[in-house]
Structure 1
Amino acid sequence: MPSLSISPNSLLVIVSAAGTGMDSDIKKAISPKNILEHIINFFTFGGVTRENKKNYLHILELMTNALAQKKNQIGMDTSLHLNDINGCQVSFTPSETDHNYITIEVKKGDYSERYNINSNKFIKVCQALEMRNELGIPQDPIILTECGKINLRGVDLSFKDLSHKNLRNVDFTGSYLYRTNLFGADLTKSLFSDATLTHCIFSCSTLKGAVFSGADASHSFFSGADLINADLSNGNFSYATFSEADLSGTDASFANLFRADFRNADFTKVNLTCANLKKATVEPDFLTDVSEHPGAQIDNLIYANTLPAQLSSMLSPVLPSSCEQPPSAS
């Protein structure tokens, strides 16, 4: 098979896709039309495509190594320099004319090409690469989802200690987080749709706008968590603990909340339409107007102040307002 070289302009397309991390950009980058604009030969089509994918993953590896040397110092002024990519040097530097952009320069000898990418997207990609590296998850060519969230779909993080981590805007759809410790983590606007979250610790974490639709979070702990405007619809939260959690504006319609513990939880403007609350532990003023929640199953509710002292102590304890780290869930 003849040897094929990638020009700086073609490589620039690949690196630009790496910088944005979007699925649509990657598909465009590995297209023979865009990578090798003037070499269209059906005999080498498959080889060229495979080579481009190899280059793309190589760039991700170089970016990850370069970021590791930065030691979490990623920001608007971040510069990265990658060498030996098909004989080209690649640099990511802040734009000299607009701080909202990062300039990519691909240079080979005296010839170079430049292209600007959004700096916020670049930073998010850097964070995604660092996150996967730190968690020991293999790098995935799809770095960001089409919604711009960090792609951790379908990964297995069971038994991991992710307490106090910054995991904002992460897509955990379909992932496995069995007995994962997310105590005090920032999970604002993260997605957990259809994820396995049984026996997971979310206590004192920030989950504003997080989505748990269809997730299995049975036996999990949300004590003291901030769940304002979260989506728990169609999720399984049976036997879960929500003591002292803020559930203001949460959508819990059609959720399974069987035997869940809601002592001292804030239920302001919660949607409990058709939710299963059978045998849940609640405060005496819970559901002052049941008519606002049509279809809610509230059979055999257990009111906190009527619990025998011995039974109350057997339930999962309410965390103190200081939200100190609880014992390991393992």
Structure 2
Amino acid sequence: MNITIDRASTMAERISGIGTGLARDEAASPKGILEYILNFFSFGYLSKQRAEAYDAFAEALATALHLAYPDGVSCGIPARLVMDFAGCSLTFTLPEKHMLEENPVIIEVSRKGESVQAEVDRKMYIRTSTVLMIQRRAAVPPLIRHLDGQWANESALR
């Protein structure tokens, strides 16, 4: 997904809360939700201003992953994960096993007949999802923040 200067400006307006009602509606659209999810998997979520919102997405994803394997034994990531978030249906599809490991995960966001999709790095998706699943099962606090409340360094998480 290419982000132009105009699109980045629109996103900045929405994040800062100065956007119009139309801009807020666009932020809640499947395209806006997809941008939000892509930021989550590309460390755009390390911004303290949006921490609460990204925590909500992380919790929703952890719940969906847990429900995919409720026995609590498997820590595998399902080949296809469908979940609801912010009024949208999200589908995460891993590349088929015989395909190259570098192939990306496809994320599709849909609501009321409107659907958009994008790709996210497979390793980042697997690692993030695995951490969320283990956190959930072991009831440990989020691993994204340091104990002193400071945000983790992106390179430390890769």
Q: Same fold (TM over 0.5)?
A: yes
Q: TM-score range by the shorter chain?
A: 0.5 to 0.7
Q: Which has the higher contact order (CA 8 A, sep 6+)?
A: 2
Relative to structure 1, the CA distance from residue 88 to residue 55 in structure 2 (aligned partners, 3 Å threshold; closer, same or farther) is farther
Number of the residue aligned with 2:68: 70
Amino acid at match of 1:103: I
How many corresponding residue pairs? 124
Residues 1-330 of structure 1 mapped to structure 2, 5 A cutoff: 4-5=24-25, 6-18=28-40, 20=41, 22=43, 25-27=44-46, 53-71=51-69, 72-75=74-77, 78-83=79-84, 85-95=85-95, 100-139=103-142, 145-147=153-155, 149=157
Identity %: 18
1:10 Cα deviation (Å)? 1.5
8 Å CA contact 1:79, 1:93 repeated in 2: yes
Secondary structure of the 1:137 match is coil
Relative to structure 1, the CA distance from residue 137 to residue 54 in structure 2 (aligned partners, 3 Å threshold; closer, same or farther) is same
8 Å CA contact 2:75, 2:133 repeated in 1: no
Which digits, 9 at most, give the CA deviation of each residue in 1:42-67, with x for residues without a partner?
xxxxxxx6xx5444222211111111
Unaligned runs of 5+ in 2: 1-16, 146-150
Relative to structure 1, the CA distance from residue 98 to residue 88 in structure 2 (aligned partners, 3 Å threshold; closer, same or farther) is farther
1:129 Cα deviation (Å)? 0.7
TM-score calculated relative to the size of structure 1: 0.32
Amino acid at match of 1:135: A
Relative to structure 1, the CA distance from residue 95 to residue 113 in structure 2 (aligned partners, 3 Å threshold; closer, same or farther) is farther
1:8 Cα deviation (Å)? 1.4
8 Å CA contact 1:125, 1:144 repeated in 2: no
For residues 127 and 147 of structure 1, the distance between their equivalents in structure 2, rounded to whole angstroms, comes to 17
Secondary structure of the 2:155 match is coil
Max radius of gyration: which structure? Answer: 1
1:17 Cα deviation (Å)? 2.7
For residues 62 and 133 of structure 2, the distance between their equivalents in structure 1, rounded to whole angstroms, comes to 7
Relative to structure 1, the CA distance from residue 74 to residue 95 in structure 2 (aligned partners, 3 Å threshold; closer, same or farther) is same
For residues 107 and 148 of structure 1, the distance between their equivalents in structure 2, rounded to whole angstroms, comes to 33
For residues 35 and 118 of structure 2, the distance between their equivalents in structure 1, rounded to whole angstroms, comes to 9
Number of the residue aligned with 1:197: none
TM-score calculated relative to the size of structure 2: 0.61
Measured on the aligned residues, the alpha-carbon RMSD in Å equals 3.3
More helix by share: 2
Secondary structure of the 2:92 match is strand
Which digits, 9 at most, give the CA deviation of each residue in 1:164-202, with x for residues without a partner?
xxxxxxxxxxxxxxxxxxxxxxxxxxxxxxxxxxxxxxx
More strand by share: 2
1:73 Cα deviation (Å)? 4.5
8 Å CA contact 2:75, 2:134 repeated in 1: no
